[in-house]
Amino acid sequence: MADPRDACGVLGLYGVRGAAPMATLGLHALQHRGQESAGIVTGHNGSLFCRKGMGLVAQVFSGSEGSSLPGEIAVGHVRYSTAGGSSLANAQPLVGRYLGGEVAVAHNGTLAAGAALSEALARKGALFQTTTDTELFLHLLAQEQAASESAVAAMLAHAGPAFAAIFLFPDKMIAARDPWGFRPLVLGRLGKGYAVASETCAFDQMGAVYEREIRPGEMVIFDDGGCRSRCFGDSGGVTARCLLEHIYFARPDSVVFGATPHVVRWQSGVVLAGEFPLEADLVVAIPDSGVSAAMGFASALGLPVERGLIRNHYVGRSFIAPGPEARAMAVRMKHNVVREVVRGRRVVLVDDSLIRGTTTATLSRDLRDAGATEVHLRIACPPTRHPCLYGVDFPRREELLAHRYSLQEIQERLHMDSLGYLSLDGLAGIFGAERDSFCTACWTGNYPV
Amino acid sequence: MADPRDACGVLGLYGVRGAAPMATLGLHALQHRGQESAGIVTGHNGSLFCRKGMGLVAQVFSGSEGSSLPGEIAVGHVRYSTAGGSSLANAQPLVGRYLGGEVAVAHNGTLAAGAALSEALARKGALFQTTTDTELFLHLLAQEQAASESAVAAMLAHAGPAFAAIFLFPDKMIAARDPWGFRPLVLGRLGKGYAVASETCAFDQMGAVYEREIRPGEMVIFDDGGCRSRCFGDSGGVTARCLLEHIYFARPDSVVFGATPHVVRWQSGVVLAGEFPLEADLVVAIPDSGVSAAMGFASALGLPVERGLIRNHYVGRSFIAPGPEARAMAVRMKHNVVREVVRGRRVVLVDDSLIRGTTTATLSRDLRDAGATEVHLRIACPPTRHPCLYGVDFPRREELLAHRYSLQEIQERLHMDSLGYLSLDGLAGIFGAERDSFCTACWTGNYPV
Amino acid sequence: MADPRDACGVLGLYGVRGAAPMATLGLHALQHRGQESAGIVTGHNGSLFCRKGMGLVAQVFSGSEGSSLPGEIAVGHVRYSTAGGSSLANAQPLVGRYLGGEVAVAHNGTLAAGAALSEALARKGALFQTTTDTELFLHLLAQEQAASESAVAAMLAHAGPAFAAIFLFPDKMIAARDPWGFRPLVLGRLGKGYAVASETCAFDQMGAVYEREIRPGEMVIFDDGGCRSRCFGDSGGVTARCLLEHIYFARPDSVVFGATPHVVRWQSGVVLAGEFPLEADLVVAIPDSGVSAAMGFASALGLPVERGLIRNHYVGRSFIAPGPEARAMAVRMKHNVVREVVRGRRVVLVDDSLIRGTTTATLSRDLRDAGATEVHLRIACPPTRHPCLYGVDFPRREELLAHRYSLQEIQERLHMDSLGYLSLDGLAGIFGAERDSFCTACWTGNYPV
Amino acid sequence: MADPRDACGVLGLYGVRGAAPMATLGLHALQHRGQESAGIVTGHNGSLFCRKGMGLVAQVFSGSEGSSLPGEIAVGHVRYSTAGGSSLANAQPLVGRYLGGEVAVAHNGTLAAGAALSEALARKGALFQTTTDTELFLHLLAQEQAASESAVAAMLAHAGPAFAAIFLFPDKMIAARDPWGFRPLVLGRLGKGYAVASETCAFDQMGAVYEREIRPGEMVIFDDGGCRSRCFGDSGGVTARCLLEHIYFARPDSVVFGATPHVVRWQSGVVLAGEFPLEADLVVAIPDSGVSAAMGFASALGLPVERGLIRNHYVGRSFIAPGPEARAMAVRMKHNVVREVVRGRRVVLVDDSLIRGTTTATLSRDLRDAGATEVHLRIACPPTRHPCLYGVDFPRREELLAHRYSLQEIQERLHMDSLGYLSLDGLAGIFGAERDSFCTACWTGNYPV
């Protein structure tokens, strides 16, 4: 149950006819990474053209809005939804003008040193007009007073973790990933041009061909001279790729950090089954987040996977008035039990993660009401106890179930007959030789930077 | 791949505080039955109150619109989406005034004798203001010139198949199902009041308790005297429940015609596996329509089910400009292949039905491009060759793949290594003693009325 | 201060290329006759095409909506705004289908016998789907079961007063005015085609040339055979043209009942000056309703007209929260005093009519606060004491100031130093030989039918 | 015919309960100064709260949006409408964060030294995120790195002409007018609090009491200590108040630069009559811009003023498709001739100014078509030949009729029998001793700074 929300999806196109309409397609495929706002900026004849709005890509670019942005070079962005602080002013890509001319930026991540950078800039007279740290990139660039490759490299070197970002100038595009490689960014070819995106599912949608990851500390410059690579900084050998991308952010069909999330999740289920086996009648995934892990879990134990829960994909949150039954009704707007499947049977619920646990508690009750004789819970990642500093929008620490309660207490609060979390060792083992290249701070509290 | 669209979902509440806000919840759970328009009419202090609009329930009843409709008695409707003929004038519930006072109706189905009824009414001076046959109910009632139970019974006796309909008067509600029982309609209790709906998933959402189906030829009257039943007509012993409800219309978690669609679909997969077994490496469902059948199919053959296709639940149709690559791009807006799952493997695709086949042909190509060595197709219902006269919005006969081509030709057009359709006998067998109580006209051409 | 609101404006075009876009222009010129909703129906290739919406013409037909309605024959309508009973279902033109085929109607007026007609129709099984009496035309036509000229004539003969209406069939248009001639309707030429409208200002906007009034009891048929006239009924010699059209409904620049409202109003001011002369420093019109009469009044007395009140044409009603100062603030959203003009001077306020008087009372206080030493009121029509049965949306009788209070009381309640209403005799005298051809029921209570 | 558009209206409230809802009222009264966008920022509990949008005040603050902004201190803005460069990013008030904290600014005027200031700031690393010069105020303040009164004074001293601006900090408000006094700004009391606005009509609407003009070079600080004044700069004794405010920007009922525009315009008509008398039958104002001047003109010559042209206040621009008759139709959407008034008569048209002349040429033709025997034109200001550098949005110099043509040529192009422009001397004479305190650059080309 993915309570944490990713900090956005980014997309860049260079040398692509009808770059903006094509970018709407790609952003649509990245929609799972952010539903708050969407935006595209294109470059044409020495100027930037921008359209942004609140809502889904299909809402912001309904009709022919996309087509009205001219040019063969574009950067796009989808932003996650937050309760209060969201606003059109924070919608990306951000566009600014400075001594080097016009520039736009689309950013996935969080600048861990944002507060310090912000204060230093303010002391130089900087004026901030948004409440997002993405604006810092533009200010740092304005300090460099140029739009050259070197100016961008110098700016990126100052930014620190964590970012996957794409910069658009009227005549060139630069994509970059921080030296630790927290957030994903992939490079591909689209016809005679180039594409950059957070995940390869955007490439599949646009018909682009995946070439490789952009490397930690690498910036790739796209201009009249084609596409070339440059290193702008290093992390002293530390790689810290965000494992949550594999656990729940990325689309199962993407290639992320060189692997396919569906496959990673399936394997996590297999390992979890080895760590917490049990006797049961069937495995039920919490749809859609737990489906891949549930399949692996069931196959390892030789249990059937059945659809004991059905997800309603229509969003209806707004109907629920506050009141006694309101919370349970809200849960049922998304998930409903298939009674005939669970009646009289021992059920293992599998999910990718467990953050606040409120939904899971309701589902457990609903399953028992429907006649399940036992309800067990298996979580395909370790207990989440620490907030993220590198780009994931977490609940506050006090809201994290595993921060507040012992495993025994959690099992009781969720009305489970048993509870098992995948061990960090088990999870890391899936990646073999690459097991130490990931950030695991939200489970361990060991922050890599 | 459910190309046919259902003719709507209906909902009625009687004796329920805040009937309209509660109805929005129930309609939201029925949203899969119609996305074109939504509407609710309530009765209060001798008058009807109405709100309708184009779009999803959550769009029409965003904010507090639902709450502004007063009363403890309500009827609601969601309508399917059509390309051209759709308009707000056709949105239901329809409301009219006649000698008997005000009345509203919500209807699921199609009046097969609509043209004849319409002409007879016109010869009596009737004025039609919509293009939906649902309006005929109101005209037939206006001919009766009363709002009594008997007037409604007489009107229903004239209507002929096919309908599940709910009538709302300022002080009573009447729910009725045609004598053949084509379309589903269930009865439940909600607190001290009553609920009627197309499917039980609406009851689960509202916290209502399922009691029973409303029987073919039965009308149930809800008024100050409580709830009572009356027979208004019979079909000479013929029952003709729509099997497509089980195959793909109804939500898997509902109870429809006394059974659970997920379970029926799973069993259809099992029988299909018996009729068309094969050697393969994995079973892939076309999500979400084929998931239940694929699970049954795979379990019967001892094959793994894997997520070889991922569905994007965000709707983005509007982006696609016409052009050479447009159709394939449009298919990929909804489904994408998980390459690592299918690479080098023999894949069996399973879906609930096959109507036009355009999407399936693209998926087959995409699977082979991703490295699948074989692609087989298994369809969990018979070849669909005939249009429906009883409430399902089908493509024209010439667009039905199985009407135009032989099975061999279909296999070739879809680039499949083999193709198997579930036999009618195999499908009917799932229902045992009730096997002859279903309408199978879209497969056999034998129209029951 | 025109509190009463007219019952709509109508427009018809026959044989005009791009009839719908041209009709939007004409309706825009008739916008003062109704701001609640706007609609256009066109005929093309044997079918009707319709677009209606709530709001101004420019809102309903923003963008290219008008252009998307095909055909060279169109009927349009603007509807007045009411507080509660307004809804899209009542927006005109109304469209229906009956034995004679499709038909649309746009209507200005009120059928005085509406309740009786409605009950008679209901007894024949009629089903009503709106709450406007305009629907009765369609039902009466459906009773005739044909679309012939004779069927329309028979239907019109049954309708009684008051109407100016335009009927659209897929291949012909019929414009008609009731035998008493309550509401205006004019005929003109537009290129090689024809135009019909409530007022000639629509002709000026479209470039049409005024030919003549459609006569009381006349219907004009436009079809392949050109344009021809037919008499469908007579009133026994009684003509009852609505004088309020000249007093305040019609645009000053139109030709209505053969005269120009600005000129009639000017003359009413002249006569009023003769009936209630006074010594004063300046004449101030309540803008814009009193401007023409104030000019005539001032010229007759040799007084200067000055702009002592300025009208804000931006509509801002929605801002005002209920509260102590709210009413005065609301008045000032529309009118503000020019202090330097009125300070230390004796002011004569002139308006076209006085219905509820709430605004006038506030203006009187504001003028005195600004330093006016005297404030007199002159009203260019008789005291309005009776509601209208023929198409004007009046306040309830109890809200009519002149119904509740004596002239002396009115003068005191409005804080006026003197008060004069134009006499009916004085008003009628303006029309010379035609003085008895008008309905004066709202002043005299003598209802002509 | 006011082609030039003003650069906005500003409003500030301090110590007023419900400051935001009250500000919507005031902005509505200033709506004539800008229709492109509207916005309000409030201060409360140490933070700023902002709502802005495209469109009229009543559109942006429909419903309860205004009420949702908390606090007793508010600044509001309406912005003029431009064809291309307009966007939500440029809507004011602008809000920024810098070392001194949060600040908002609402600005009427244009910074003549904008380009130079902008480049200097860019060289210090400034990042611009809008295309309006108003942003420069925030950057200049960020350079000061404080929110103190002195910091604001220093910033204002750098800004140069032309501005009337209001700055909002979470706990104080500062209103300022440039040392030359180009744009108007008035100070008043509202209950126990204070109000500042571009024109007094906003005070009348809110119930505030006018106290005085804010003086050129004065800044007024509103904070816990009450209201105090400070001088931040001087112009070496040059005052350059914009005379166009009196000629056509300001509402006739406001007090601007100590005088009432309606009275100034009336007097301009009187002087014009002295300079260009003629024999004619009637004076017709081009409504509403020429009404005040026409009244003065007519009274001086003893001619009657009549309504020969009627203005349609509903905005319908969007309907007009390009085409041969399109321009004339567009003019008639706004103005229509009253034929009976002008037929057979010698007409003097009076307007406040003449910029491009396109509308006037069409009106002249329409008047002659309606039977006017002579048409003369009198313009109540000098020929406009030079663009404004100080805050008025003018057409380009080449579009200015009086820049391109001689008076004789203008008379011919507009089909006038005679033409007279008020002399600069005559206009200035109206102001007596203050005659040299105005900017007359658009007529003389003598730019005061």
Encode pLDDT of A197-231 as tens digits: 999 999 999 999 999 999 999 999 999 999 999 99
CB contact under 8 A, A253 and B304: no
Interatomic CA distance for residues B286 and A350, integer angstroms = 22
- DSSP, res B161: S
Tokens at C390, concatenated: 């023929």
Asked if A52 has any chain D CB less than 8 Å from its own CB, the reply is no
- Which of A57, A329, A338 faces B262 most closely, judged by CB atoms? A338
Sign, CA torsion D143/D145/D147/D149: negative
Using an 8 Å CB-CB cutoff, list chain D residues near A126.
Answer: 98, 125-127, 142
User: pLDDT grade, residue C358 (50/70/90)?
Assistant: confident
Res B330: pLDDT: 85
Q: Are A81 and A96 in contact (CB under 8 A)?
A: no
pLDDT of D155 higher than 90: yes
Q: Where in chain A is the domain with CATH 3.60.20.10?
A: 5-239
- By the 10 Å C-beta count (0-12 exposed, 13-18 middle, 19+ buried), B317 is classed as exposed
Distances from the Cα of C52 to the Cα of B93, C94, D293, angstroms: 20, 9, 42
Chains C and A, touching by 3 or more CB pairs within 8 angstroms: no
Q: DSSP for B310-373, please give it.
A: EE--S--GGG--SSTTHHHHHHHHHEEE-HHHHTTSEEEEEES--SS-HHHHHHHHHHHHTT-S
Cβ contact (<8 Å) for B128 and C99? Answer: no
CATH 3.40.50.2020 in chain A, residue ranges: 261-444
The neighbour count for residue B251, using CB atoms within 10 Å, is: 24
pLDDT at C83 over 50: no
Domain over C5-239 is classified CATH 3.60.20.10: yes
**Residue-wise pLDDT tens digits, D348-404:** 999 999 998 888 999 999 999 999 999 999 999 999 999 998 988 888 888 899 999
A265 pLDDT exceeds 80?
yes
Tell me, what's the pLDDT at A164? 97
Closest CA to C243 of C377, C436, C8, C81: C436
Percentage of the residues of chain A whose pLDDT score is greater than 70: 94
- Judged by CB atoms closer than 8 Å, whether chains meet at C204 and D329 is answered as no
Which chain A residues in 70-129 lie under 8 Å from chain B, judged by CB atoms?
none
Note whether B425 contacts A: Cβ–Cβ < 8 A: no
Residues linked to residue B340 through DSSP beta bridges, in sequence order: none
Chain B CB contacts of C94 under 8 Å are: 129
Q: Which class for A173: exposed (0-12), middle (13-18), buried (19 or more C-beta within 10 A)? A: buried
- Any idea which of A178-192, D69-83, D178-192 has the lowest mean pLDDT? D69-83
Distance (Å) from the C-alpha of residue D239 to the closest C-alpha of chain A? 33
DSSP B94-132: EEEEETTEEEEEEEES--TTHHHHHHHHHHTT--B-SSS
Give the number of other Cβ atoms within 10 Å of residue B81's Cβ.
13
Q: What is the pLDDT of residues A129-167, one digit of tens each?
A: 999 999 999 999 999 999 999 999 999 999 999 999 999
On whether the pTM is more than 0.80, the answer is yes
Q: Determine the Cα–Cα distance for residues C60 and C53; give it in Å rounded to an integer.
A: 5
Task: Give the pLDDT confidence score for residue D315 in this predicted structure.
Answer: 79
Stretch A416-421: mean pLDDT: 98
Q: What is residue B88's predicted lDDT score, i.e. its pLDDT?
A: 84
DSSP characters over A272-300: HHHHS----SEEEE-TTTTHHHHHHHHHH
Half-sphere exposure of A295 (CA within 13 A, CB side): 25
Name the pLDDT band for C408 (thresholds 50, 70, 90).
very high
Q: Which chains contact D through at least 3 pairs of Cβ atoms less than 8 Å apart?
A: A, C
pLDDT of residue B392: 84
Element containing residue D418 per DSSP (H, E)? strand D418-421
Pick D56's closest partner by Cβ from C31, C62, C314: C314
Cα gap D399→D397, rounded to integer Å:
5
Query: Phi and psi (nearest 5°) for D141?
Result: -70, -40
Q: Are D40 and D75 in contact (CB under 8 A)?
A: yes
Which residue among A206, A318, A338 sits closest to B260, beta carbon to beta carbon?
A338
Query: Does C3 have pLDDT greater than 60?
Result: no
Q: Min CA distance, A299 vs chain B (Å)? A: 8
CA distance to partner chain B, nearest, from residue A101 (Å): 32
Which pLDDT value is given to residue B393? 80
Of C97, C123, C142, the CB nearest to B99: C123
Contact (CB, 8 A) for D205 and C329? yes
* Residue whose token pair is 């290639």: A255
Chains that touch B (3 or more CB pairs under 8 A): A, C
pLDDT for A321 equals: 63
Nearest CA in chain C to B98: C127
- Contact yes or no for D175/D219 (Cβ under 8 A): yes
Tell me: pLDDT of D2 over 50: no
Q: Which residues of D carry out catalysis?
A: 8
- Tell me the pLDDT tens digit for each residue of D3-50: 555 569 999 999 999 999 999 999 999 999 999 999 999 999 999 999
Residue closest to D223 by CA, chosen among D167, D158, D141: D167
CA atoms of D424 and B130, how far apart (whole Å): 67
Task: Work out the pLDDT band at D1, boundaries 50, 70, 90.
Answer: very low
CA dist., res. D17 & res. D73, Å (int): 8
Q: How far is residue C354's CA from residue C410's CA, in Å, rounded to a whole number?
A: 10
How far is Cα D20 from Cα D447, in angstroms, rounded to an integer?
38
Nearest CA in chain A to D93: A129
- C-beta atoms of C306 and D329 within 8 A: no
Cis status of the peptide bond prior to B162, with omega within 30 of 0: yes
- Tokens read off for A18: 């009808």
Q: What is the mean pLDDT of chain B?
A: 93
Total length of chain D: 449
Whether residues D125 and A128 touch (CB distance < 8 A) is answered with: no
Res C68: pLDDT: 83
Is 90 exceeded by the pLDDT of residue D211?
yes
**Active-site residue, B388 included:** no
Which residue, D137, D221, D143, D234, is CA-closest to D176? D221
Q: Do D318 and C29 touch (CB under 8 A)?
A: no
Residues 313-332 of B with CB under 8 A from A: 313-321, 325, 328-329, 332
Q: What's the token pair of residue D368?
A: 């002659």
Q: How far is D67 from chain C (nearest CA, A)?
A: 10
For residue A319, give the nearest of B24, B201, B339 by CB distance: B24
Task: Please enumerate in sequence order all residues whose Cβ is within 8 A of that of C29, keeping only pairs 6 or more positions apart, or say none.
Answer: C199, C201, C202, C204, C205, C206, C251, D312, D333, D336
- Summarize the confidence of residues D408-414 as an average pLDDT: 96
CA distance B301 to B278: 8
Reported as a pLDDT band with limits 50, 70 and 90, residue C163 is very high
Task: Report the residue from B122, B130, B145 with minimal CB separation from C99.
Answer: B122
B321 and A21 within 8 Å at the Cβ level: the answer is yes
Residue D127: both structure tokens together:
């990042």
CA distance linking residue C55 with residue C37, whole number of Å: 5
Number of cross-chain residue pairs from A and B with Cβ atoms under 8 Å apart: 165
The residue with tokens 């004598």 is B179
- Give SS3 for A214: coil
The residue type at C408: Q
> Which of B285-289, C331-335, D121-125, D421-425 bottoms out in mean pLDDT, i.e. has the lowest?
C331-335
What whole-number distance in Å separates Cα of residue D247 and Cα of residue D250? 8
Q: Going by C-beta distance under 8 Å and a sequence separation of 6 or more, which residues neighbour residue C74? A: C11, C12, C13, C16, C19, C20, C22, C23, C40, C41, C42, C43, C168
Q: What is the DSSP secondary structure assignment for residue A349, as one 8-state letter? A: E
Six-digit token pair at C134?
């305009």
Token pair 């349970």: residue: A328
User: Residue D209 has what pLDDT?
Assistant: 97
pLDDT of A84 above 70 = no
Residues in chain C with CB shorter than 8 Å from the CB of B167 are none
Give the three-state DSSP class for C11. strand
Low-confidence ranges of chain B (pLDDT < 50): 1-2, 83-84
Residue of A nearest to B260 (CA): A340
CA C48 to chain centre: 27
CA distance D314 to chain C (A): 7
Task: List the one residue out of A108, A247, A240 whose CA is nearest residue A185.
Answer: A108
Interface probe for A, chosen from D117, D129, D135 (most Cβ of A below 10 Å), is D129
Q: Which residues of A touch D84 (CB under 8 A)?
A: none
The Cα–Cα gap between A216 and C441 comes to 87
Q: Which residue has the tokens 């004011």?
A: D92
**D42 membership: H or E segment, kind and range:** strand D37-44
Topology of domain B261-444, CATH: Rossmann fold (3.40.50)
The answer, for B143 touching chain C at a CB cutoff of 8 Å, is yes
Nearest CA in chain A to B66: A319
pLDDT > 90 in chain A, percent: 85
Residues 6+ away with beta carbon under 8 Å from D275: D420, D422, D423, D426
* Partners of residue C299 in chain D, C-beta under 8 Å: 304
For residues B419 and B439, what is the distance between their CA atoms, to the nearest angstrom? 25
Selecting among C8, C388, C439, C442, the annotated active-site residue is C8
Residue of higher predicted confidence among A399 and D176 = D176
- Three-class SS of D120-180: HHHHCCCCECCCCCHHHHHHHHHHHCCCCHHHHHHHHHHHCCCCEEEEEECCEEEEEECCC
Assess C56–D contact: CB distance below 8 Å, yes or no.
yes
Nearest to C422 by CA among C363, C370, C381: C381
Torsion sign over Cα D279, D281, D287, D293: positive
The residue assigned the tokens 């003062």 is C32
Chain-centre distance for alpha carbon C109: 9
Rounded to whole angstroms, the Cα distance separating D195 from A75 reads 45
Residue of D nearest to A91 (CA): D89
